[in-house]
Amino acid sequence: MNGDFESAGSAFTDDTVPQSVFNAMKDLPWILSSEDARAIALNLVENLGGATVDASGVSASAIPIDLSFGCGDAVLPSAPEHSVARMLLELYLPPFVIAVRRMLQLQGEIERNLDDASIDSLTKLSNRRMTSRALGRLQVGEVVLMIDLDHFKSINDSLGHLAGDEVLRAFGHAIHLTLRGRDFAGRYGGEEFVVVLPVNSEPEPFLERLRGMWTQVRPHDITFSAGISVVGAVATTALADSDAAMYRAKNAGRNRWEWATTEAHSDTPPVFRSVRGVREAAQFVAYSRLEVPEGHQDQIDRAFKDRLGAVDAWPGFIALEVWADTRHPTQYSMVSWWTSAELFQDYMKSIDHRRSHDRIPKGDQRPKAIEFVRFRMVSQ
């Protein structure tokens, strides 16, 4: 940071740099978007005694440094000529803006690398690694579809692999157009695809929509078959069940789908909702005890609910429980259940986890961790 100030020709020493500048620089590692960068920059301008003006207007007091970082309309810092505020803005904003741009560039590279590591380059669906993670966090009542393109090998054999790639690319696009809300889809391998639908979903209407979409966009006259299973108490069997059902659909003539169990042929698929069933997949539990400043329990309750929404889609996550201590009204216990310690560690190191902390109140409202313990499954 000091090098940036010195390169800008600063006449100030470290001892005379305003605290607000140091605070803004400390916030840089937490920037996740242009919106974050804009908010920090505008706050810094205010703390240095300046104001901001719309760049579309004419203002003699404006300094030509755009602080929008591409988020919304361009905005410029402003302060009267020869004022202390203007001197501070002209001195510290240029190196700060350079640092912000570097951070946004780095963030973009991180996001691109994450995409490369998780997205199948041909279909743009989740790749095998991410699909396996999603299957590792299945919950009771979710629906697993195994989908396979019919006679796909004949496309490669008669028209070549480029034509086969074109079919896979188009089918990935058709799935994208069919997905809704919290649906998950990934390429499992070759011409096989996995879709996971939330609890209480109706898979047959989904497959009907996919069939209609595929008929519109497919580059060659090729169909698909699918198997359907509902996740029961032993989640690890769901994929094998849907795979077996898919092969039954193939043997029954293709271009159709089959349920994994006879009970599931009814209009409403069976949903098994037992706490024990959900927990059976857990191999790792993280426990923490928190002290909440008195009078701020309501804010913490809302923050915990928001945090659950942030972690809910993470691979390996099963459930999050938050308990208020009846003996100590300011103490809470938080327990999260995971399919493995490795996936829990992945989450703890992730940007998503960092973002979840943004939902926790700051300052005198912020809870303090009293205890943190991790457990691994030994027996059940």
Sign of CA dihedral 210, 215, 220, 224: positive
The reported pLDDT for the residue numbered 18 is 86
Helix axes 203-217 and 161-178, enclosed angle (nearest 10): 130
Picking from 66, 94, 118, the residue at the C-terminal end of a domain is 118
Q: How far apart are the first and last CA of the chain?
A: 53
Residues 143 and 217 in one domain: yes
Q: Are 38 and 50 in contact (CB under 8 A)?
A: no
pLDDT in tens, 214-271: 999 999 999 999 999 998 866 778 888 899 899 999 988 999 999 986 444 333 333 2
The reported pLDDT for the residue numbered 176 is 93
Q: Which segments of 119-232 does DSSP mark as H helices, in order?
A: 128-136, 152-159, 161-178, 203-217
Residues 208 and 314 in one domain: no
Any idea which residue has 């691109």 for tokens?
112
Side chain identity, residue 277: G
Torsions phi, psi of 332, nearest 5? -125, 150
Domain that holds residue 296: 282-376
The reported pLDDT for the residue numbered 53 is 86
Is 365 contained in some domain?
A: yes
User: What are the residue ranges in the chain where pLDDT is below 70?
Assistant: 1-16, 57-58, 108-117, 233-234, 261-281, 295-314, 352-366, 377-380
Is 276 contained in some domain?
A: no
Picking from 95, 118, 141, the residue at the C-terminal end of a domain is 118
For the purposes of burial, counting CB atoms within 10 Å of the CB of 133, is it exposed (0-12), middle (13-18) or buried (19 or more)? Answer: buried
Residues 197 and 237 in one domain: yes
The reported pLDDT for the residue numbered 117 is 65
Q: pTM of the prediction? A: 0.45
Supply the CATH number for residue 53's domain. 3.30.450
> Any idea what DSSP says for residue 62?
B
The reported pLDDT for the residue numbered 264 is 40
Q: Are 246 and 227 in contact (CB under 8 A)?
A: yes
Side chain identity, residue 57: G
The reported pLDDT for the residue numbered 297 is 60
Rounded CA gap, 276 and 325, in Å?
Answer: 23
The reported pLDDT for the residue numbered 238 is 87
Rounded CA gap, 43 and 41, in Å?
Answer: 5
Residues 254 and 291 in one domain: no
